[in-house]
Amino acid sequence: MLFREVVGHSAIKSRLQQMVKEERIPHAILFTGNEGTGSLPMAWAFAQYIMCTQRTGTDACGSCPSCKKAEKLVHPDLHFVFPVINPGDGKAPVSEHFLVQWRNALTSNPYLTLNQWMEAIGSENKQPGIFEAESSRILEKSMYKPFESSYKILIIWLAEKMNAHCANKLLKIIEEPPRDTIFLLVAQDTYSILPTILSRCQQIVLPPIDNDSLREALINRAPIEESKLNSILRISKGNYLRALQLIEKNEEEERWFNPFVNLMRLAYKAQITGLMDWASEMAALGREKQKQFLTYALQLIRENYALTTAGEEVAYLSDQTLHFSKNFHPYVTEKNIEPLADQFESAIFQIEHNGNAKIIFLDVALQVSKAIRIK
């Protein structure tokens, strides 16, 4: 991964390049940013830049043997740790058992999301994590001498997914880092990371990608109509992956619009049988897809409230959704926005903690039916 392939964030790239130029690279850096802002590709590009044998002042060369290996994720001094599931075949739940899938997934999509990763390993119904067994592998890898580079680099993707045992053991390693070892942590939710780990990392926050950089990246990718481009920039909110999904008319966007509309129509009419059927259909989905829908619904509720209170100028809605919301948004008001939002947030939390999906979605349906009819 090259810096020039990471969309936007020129100031952060310059900061990282300066660290290498001055030979003042921290032993632990935490890249944080929302989905689609590029924290994982930035960490990958930084690792390749460090390892490149012919780097310039602004980027890795992309052609030396080190770069070629880093691009294919096979460099012997570049290691990845990421959320996995228990394979259920007696093997420990550690990243090295999923390296083939990981290399395929990340090289094809550097802006990989957790949902996409779970689909790649066919584990949508299981909760991924970074478990205690992984900490032993991390310690083992950190003790190696570098084979070809000046450093060993461990990239830990979604570090907030570490369980307590793994996090505590990682803390001990970071507190007394092995020589020539660099830890690059990548996270979205820093509140779920041990404060003591946070305090030992230099944090680099990636904000949403600026519109000029996002515009340039999308135009360079493929021709696009100006009106469509402006709509995508407005809706994507600096999320490059989201912008790509909108361009490609990703099925995920279409997947959740109709279930949301069905829920709201059944809820407003208080059709209990229909709501029960809807809950059963949602409960039959995998947990990651259930979370996708709930997150989508929560966002759409908030956008409709914005439409109610401030008008179309502040709402980030596609043309299809805006057409529906022009009729729907008057039902989302200051009197019911809180119970509606709380319901979806609570459901996300319960699904993440392995609650009974059928009960959760039935409760969502019934509570939404009550809230949406508040006048």
pLDDT by residue (tens digit) across 56-88?
A: 999 999 999 999 999 999 999 999 999 998 877
Bridge partners of residue 156, in order along the sequence:
81, 185
What's the gap between Cα 247 and its chain centre?
19
Q: 282 or 374, which is more confident?
A: 282
Q: By percentage, how much of the chain surpasses pLDDT 70?
A: 96
Query: Given this model, what pLDDT does residue 250 score?
Result: 46
The mean pLDDT of 356-363, rounded to a whole number, is 96
Query: Given this model, what pLDDT does residue 315 score?
Result: 64
Q: 156 or 318, which is more confident?
A: 156
The mean pLDDT of 235-259, rounded to a whole number, is 79
The pLDDT tens digits of the residues spanning 184-195 come to 999 999 999 999
The pLDDT tens digits of the residues spanning 264-315 come to 999 999 999 999 999 999 999 998 899 989 988 998 999 899 998 887 766 6
Query: Given this model, what pLDDT does residue 251 score?
Result: 53
The mean pLDDT of 137-141, rounded to a whole number, is 88
Q: 313 or 167, which is more confident?
A: 167
The mean pLDDT of 324-331, rounded to a whole number, is 92
The answer to whether 175 touches 143, Cβ cutoff 8 Å, is no
> What is the second-level CATH architecture of the domain 3-207?
3-Layer(aba) Sandwich (3.40)
Half-sphere exposure of 335 (CA within 13 A, CB side): 9
The mean pLDDT of 246-272, rounded to a whole number, is 84
Query: Given this model, what pLDDT does residue 61 score?
Result: 96
Delimit the domains of the chain by residue range.
3-207, 208-248, 252-372
The residues, any chain, with a CB within 8 Å of residue 190's CB and separated by 6 or more, are 30, 32, 160, 198, 203
Bridge partners of residue 203, in order along the sequence:
30
Within 10 angstroms of residue 32's Cβ, the number of other Cβ atoms is 21
